[in-house]
Structure 1
Amino acid sequence: MDPLDQLDDAAAAAAFRRLVRHLRHRADAQNVDLMGLAGFCRNCLSEWVEDAAGLDRDAARGIVYGEPYAAWKARQPEATPAQLARMAESQRRNP
């Protein structure tokens, strides 16, 4: 059995909230860079919240971003070709 499955739900929820708050604080860490490095980003977390909680996409994104997604996105710079290439390579390694 995976030890993660033995983690108390309250502890898992606290860790998830801490991760989300950290990502809210680190708006300089662009989604494209997160995808390029780790194969997931804030949008992925939003989709996981959407699936787990039965929320619509906008509500789930509001939880993860702490504001409307469009407002956050408007402040982000355009992704460079190098960032997009790294992201594409990283995504190929996802299950």
Structure 2
Amino acid sequence: MDDQTRTELEAAVFRRLVEHLRGRTDVQNIDMMNLAGFCRNCLSNWYKDAANEKGLDLEKADAREIVYGMPYDDWKSKYQTEATAEQKASFEKNKPQH
């Protein structure tokens, strides 16, 4: 497989992942962090980092809007719930180091 095709496939997979996450508003970021070690915020941070490495000035809020499909504060007010004590304890125990 050539590099251009690989890049196009990776981009398509990323877009599909983002669309999937936008549709699964029932899945909280803390649950993703506890189970997989990353969440929507991580994806947006990685997106911002990649843009910055290419010399593009992408703000954190703009990267989050790309991933969430809306401003982050709007998503939080519509979909984010208060983390339970169990979720918080699990997060503290398994906190990713990235």
Superposed pair shares fold, TM > 0.5: yes
Q: 2:67 aligns with which of 64, 69, 74?
A: 64
The answer as to 2:82 corresponding to 1:84 is no
Secondary structure of 1:40's counterpart equals coil
Percent of paired sites with the same residue: 54
Cα RMSD (Å) of the superposition? 1.7
Q: Is the 8 A contact 1:37 1:87 kept in 2?
A: no
Unpaired segments of 5 or more residues in structure 2?
53-57
Distance in 2 (alpha carbons) for counterparts of 1:44 and 1:29 = 15
Shift of 1:36: 0.7
Structure 1 outlier segments of 4+, above 3 Å: none
- Per-residue CA deviations over 1:48-84 (Å, capped at 9, x if unaligned) read 0010013110110000000000000112111111111
How do 1:1-95 residues align onto structure 2 when only pairs under 5 Å count? 8-54=6-52, 55-75=58-78, 76-92=80-96, 94=97
Unpaired segments of 5 or more residues in structure 1?
none
> Which residue identity does 2:61 align to in structure 1?
D
Distance in 1 (alpha carbons) for counterparts of 2:24 and 2:12 = 18
Q: How many residues align?
A: 89
